[in-house]
Amino acid sequence: MPPNITALNTTRARTYVFRLPLFTRVVILAIVGFWLAGLQSIVDIQQWGALIPDEMGLATLYRMNTFPFIHLNIFHAVMNILALTPLMERFEAEYGTLNCLALFFGPLTTIPAFLYVGLEKFVFGNNVAVMGASMWVFLLLGVEAVKTYKVNPNFVIGTYSIPTWTTPIGVLFAMAVLMPSSSFWGHAAGLVVGYGAGLGYVKFLAPPEKILRWIEGKLNLLGRLPHYVSIDQKTYGRFGVLPSNNTPAVASPGVALGLVGSTQRLGP
């Protein structure tokens, strides 16, 4: 590759990283931080924070918020960061930093976690622990697929017209085939909730904008926090408000790395 093209790509990558919004940065740093914490041998971070169906109780509900940050190894963490970052960045730019904080430490994490635990315990009778941010990846793929479908309903392969909202389902089954150690049902739980969020079925769980604006103004978050995205700086609006027809459709990103079981390794 010519040196000028390499320099251009490096500059673009550096610019992209420097422009990442606040919540997306915090998520990346948290994933890296938990991986570093897992290098010590005093506390088993994976056992402490993974989503383990048989370990769920009132005292361990924190697992529903910790498992996306914990990964098996550095490869698992890096691959999930690469898959998650563009999706999370786009979501935060659209809905705001404070909204992301409330949603991803609330319903957009706990609902798919409850679904997974319910399936494992009461349907399959298993106790497969999962960890990793790929449940978020599939959730956000579901949100993006619904938005894309409303702007560009179909894409054509040969003589077949395929609904764009089915793209994440194809990714889901491709992951199950190519990486059988990944958690199919963990990914599916995230995808189902992502479809629901994209269709607006969970919008009643989002904090009222009036309250968020009051918090932002009272604490002067926009002035105090670098890279903070205000409610009024959002790209398009809230749940159910889509880009106009003049806005190019957003294609669903490529394959995301898997949510893995406690005794299973993700990757080639």
CB atoms within 10 A of CB 243: 17
| Integer Cα distance of 212 and 178 in angstroms | 42
Q: Which of 120, 134, 82, 129 is nearest to 259 (CA)?
A: 134
**Given 76, 182, 183, 187, which residue is catalytic?**
187
Name 140's Cβ contacts closer than 8 Å, sequence gap at least 6: 84, 87, 88, 91, 194
244 belongs to the catalytic site: no
Counting beta carbons within 10 angstroms of the beta carbon of residue 188, is it exposed (0 to 12), middle (13 to 18) or buried (19 or more)?
Answer: buried
Distance, CA of 82 to CA of 62 (rounded, Å): 25
Selected catalytic residue, list 134, 182, 183, 252: 134
Q: Are 129 and 52 in contact (CB under 8 A)?
A: yes
Active-site residue, 134 included: yes
Tally of CA atoms within 13 A in the half-sphere of 97 that contains its CB: 19
The residues annotated as belonging to the active site are 134, 187
